Amino acid sequence: MRPVLAAAVFALLLAGCATAGKADKAGADFDFDRYVPSRLGQVEGSSEEGCQALPNRPIYMVDALLPAHRFEARATQRFRPLEADARKLLEISDEMSSKQRATMFAEEVLVGIEGQERWLPIQASVAPFWRRELAEGEAVWLYVSRFGCVKPVDAAGDRTIMTINEFQVEPIGQPEPTP
DSSP string, 162-177: EEEEEEESS-SSPPPP
pLDDT at 125: 96
Q: What is the pLDDT of residue 43?
A: 77
What is the per-residue burial (b if ≥16 Cβ within 10 Å, else e) of 130-152?
beeebeeeeebbbbbbbbbbbbe
CA distance 113 to 3: 52
Q: With contact defined as beta carbons under 8 Å apart, do 71 and 90 qualify?
A: no
The pLDDT assigned to 46 comes to 47
Going by pLDDT thresholds of 50, 70 and 90, the confidence category of residue 23 is: very low
* Per-residue model confidence (pLDDT) at position 33: 86
131 vs 66: which has the higher pLDDT: 131
Q: Which residues are CB-neighbours of 132 under 8 A, at least 6 positions away? A: none
Residue range 112-117: mean pLDDT, rounded: 92
Q: What digits encode the pLDDT tens for the residues 51-91?
A: 666 666 667 778 777 788 898 999 999 999 999 889 998 99
pTM of the model: 0.74
- Average pLDDT of 109-115? 94
Domains of the chain, CATH where assigned? 21-168 (2.40.50)
